[in-house]
Amino acid sequence: MDLTDKVAIVTGGASGIGRALVERFHAAGARALVVADLDGDGATAVAAGVGGTGVRCDVGNEPEVRSLIDDTVAAHGSIDLVVSNAGYVTIGGLEAADEDLRRMFDVHVMAHVYAARHAIPHMVDAGGGYLVNTASAAGLLTQIGSMHYSVTKHAAVALAEFISVTYGHLGIGVSVLCPQAVATNILENSPTRDQMPGDGAGNAASVDGVLTSEELAEMVIAGLADERFHILPHPDVAEYLRRKTDDVDRWLGGMRRFQQRLFPDGQNPADWLVG
C-alpha cells in the first residue's frame, strides 16, 4: 500500500508508536490524517503538527469508534487505512480481577472488531482499503508475567487472520504489527506499574533490542509497501515463531527456563497466586 494521497486514521495516536506512525504517514504523502486517542488534547497536538484532525476516542466504545470512522468519511470522502493501535500492558496472572481482563479485551480486541466492522463497508464501496492492527510479539509467542496481555494479543492476531481470509476477496488488506520492545510510555501508563517486579517482566521483550518509535514506523511503511500480514520489526520473532510451530513442547520448556532467568530470586508470576 502506497500512502500517497490516502486518508488514514491512527488510534492511540497521541504518543509513542501512534504518534510516530502519524508523522511518518504525513511524510509519505497522506492526504488526510485523523489522530484518535483517549487523550484528546494529545491527539489534537499531534494532529496540529501534520495538518490533521485530533479526536478524543475511547476505542473500547463502539459508538465512538463508529463516529470516528463515519465522521472521517464525511469530512474526506473516503477512508483508505485504519491503524488500530491503542493498547496498554499489565502484570498478573490467574489471580488478577476478571474485570481487568475484560477491559483489556475491549482495548486490544474489540477495538479492532469495531474498527473493522465500521470501516470495511466504506472501504468495499470505494473498491478496497487496508487495516493495520497493532498486536505484539506476545500475540505470536507469549508475554511472561502478563496473562491478560498474552491472551488479548493472541486474540488480536486471530481476528486479523479471520479478516484477511473473510474479506480479502473484497479488496481488504490487513497486517498485524508484532514488535517486541519499543521505547514508548506503555510501561509508565500501566495501571499495574507499581507491581512490576524489578526488571523481570519488563525485560522479557527487550532481549533482542529496543527500537525507537521512529524506527518502527519505517518498518511499518515497508510492511505496507509489501502488504505483509506479519510486520515483525524484530526479525528474531520469525525464528522464535518457527521454533514454536516446529516443536511447541520444546519451545514451552525453553520459555519456562527463560522465565526462571528473568526471576532468579524465585519471584515468578505463579508465586503471586500461591503466595
Task: Give the catalytic positions in this structure.
Answer: 149
- CA triple 44-134-162, angle to 5 deg: 130
Enter the C-alpha cell of residue 61.
Answer: 466504545
Find where cell 521454533 sits: 243
Count CB atoms within 10 A of the CB of residue 270.
12
Convert 46-56 to b/e letters by CB count within 10 Å (16 or more is b). Answer: bbeebebbbbb
Long-range Cβ contacts of 121-124 (<8 Å, 24+ apart): 122/69, 122/73, 122/78, 122/79, 123/79, 123/80, 123/171, 123/172, 124/167, 124/170, 124/171, 124/172
Enter the C-alpha cell of residue 113.
Answer: 472488531
DSSP-derived 3-state class of residue 156: helix
Residue 32 carries which DSSP code?
A: E
DSSP secondary structure letters along 190-214 = -TTGGG--TTHHHHGGGTT--B-HH
Name the amino acid, one letter, at 138. A
